[in-house]
Amino acid sequence: MTTDTSLAEICTVKREDIPKTVTEELSDTERDELKSRVKQLLKEQNAVMVAHYYTDPDLQLIADATVGYVSDSLDMARFGNEAEADTLVVCGVKFMGETAKILNPEKRVLMPDLNADCSLDIGCPIKEFSEFCDQHPDRTVVVYANTSAAVKARSDWVVTSGSALDVINHLHAKGEKFIWAPDKYLGQYIQEQTGADMLLWQGACVVHEEFKAIELAELIKQHPDAKVLVHPESPASVIELADVVSSTTGIIKAAVELDAKEFIVATDKGIFHKMKEAAPDKIFIEAPTSGKSATCVSCAHCPWMAMNTLRKLVECLETGSGEILIDPELGKRARLPIQRLLDFAREQKQQSLLSGDA
């Protein structure tokens, strides 16, 4: 890996490797039966569900109705770590299941579909990433949670979108320089916000990369009072138009707290379920992608998140399929940078509680 071109090639997920986003077709009766069955199986197996905001609303409803949890990737890790259960059922993408297993090696961790990947994870293979790190031994390696267990094990810190700015600010103040991977857009945003010296891996999220700045500017003209909420995995031209740039949890919080009636939202549309639940009197508008045209890769819904269906959820609980297994030695090494993040986030929370900011 010698040139920028070859780095870009490694990081780019081929279009044919991106699955089509599928929606599970179910009658109301089938849906109700499957939901009851999941609840029964969770109870029988002392299992809890941890789901991401981008998953199907039915899964989020089950997690909320049982002792489970729906959140962003930072809180999913935190909750999984604290939950008293024999089995964690992670509805999200593979790196979320792996993080749960790394933090809870004694628990069984199941996922409805182990093929639920992430373009950031795919675009950051351990061999090439490790070589890249070896070329810059003076730099602190900070990786986004959307990476494999092996990449995490090669890092000094794991961060999420909800914690990246604080962590980089903290380390930058100590004079550290960074390798950042895999998301180039999030890295660029953090670099601009903090002024830190960051070498950026060139990965991207195929969902957020699709948001279009020119069309968004047009939409803003049509809704001049709307606030624009953007996830930082989006391109810089889209971030520039945002009123709030934040993690998924931050986006929901902004919708509740901001004094506006309308919101244009640039993140996976799965989040609309929780946004409507949290702020039922507000109006949420999808930020433009290439719509349903031939060029639309995801149409603002992650094809891997969509693999978490009710039928597969029942199947994994009934048969034990979709179990996440991680080599214990690798798991131990990957745990250190994740634990660093969880400890850091806990201290930050305590400090903001003491200062009355929370």
d(C-alpha 331, C-alpha 337), whole Å:
11
Residue nearest to ligand 13P (CB): 72
Q: Are 251 and 285 in contact (CB under 8 A)?
A: no
Q: For ligand 13P, what does the binding mask look like between residues 27 and 66, x meaning CB under 6 A? A: ----------------------------------------
d(C-alpha 296, C-alpha 294), whole Å:
6
**Residue 119 binds which of ligand 13P, ligand SF4, none (CB < 5-8 A, kind-dependent):** ligand SF4
Query: Considering only residues 21, 55, 60, 73, which one is a binding residue for ligand 13P as defined by CB under 6 A?
Result: 73
In the complex with ligand SF4, which residue's Cβ is closer, 179 or 302?
A: 302
Position 91 contacts ligand SF4 (CB under 6 A): no
d(C-alpha 272, C-alpha 257), whole Å:
16
Position 202 contacts ligand 13P (CB under 6 A): no
Give the count of residues interacting with ligand SF4 (CB under 6 A).
13
Position 248 contacts ligand 13P (CB under 6 A): yes
DSSP β-bridge partners for residue 87 = 47, 108
d(C-alpha 80, C-alpha 29), whole Å:
31
Residues in the chain, overall count: 358
Q: For ligand 13P, what does the binding mask look like between residues 220 and 239, x meaning CB under 6 A? A: -------------x------
**Residue 111 binds which of ligand 13P, ligand SF4, none (CB < 5-8 A, kind-dependent):** none
CB atoms within 10 A of CB 253: 16
Residues 6+ apart with CB under 8 A from 213: 235, 237, 238, 240, 241
Which 118-177 positions form the footprint of ligand SF4 (CB under 6 A)? Answer: 118-120, 146
Residue appearing with tokens 């489970």: 68
Q: Are 13 and 26 in contact (CB under 8 A)?
A: no
**Sign of the CA dihedral 194, 300, 117, 103?**
positive
| Stretch of 70-78, 99-107, 192-200, 234-242 contacting ligand 13P, by CB under 6 A | 70-78
Which 168-207 positions form the footprint of ligand SF4 (CB under 6 A)? Answer: 205-207
Which residues sit at the interface with ligand SF4, rule CB under 6 A? 93, 118-120, 146, 205-207, 233, 268, 302, 304-305
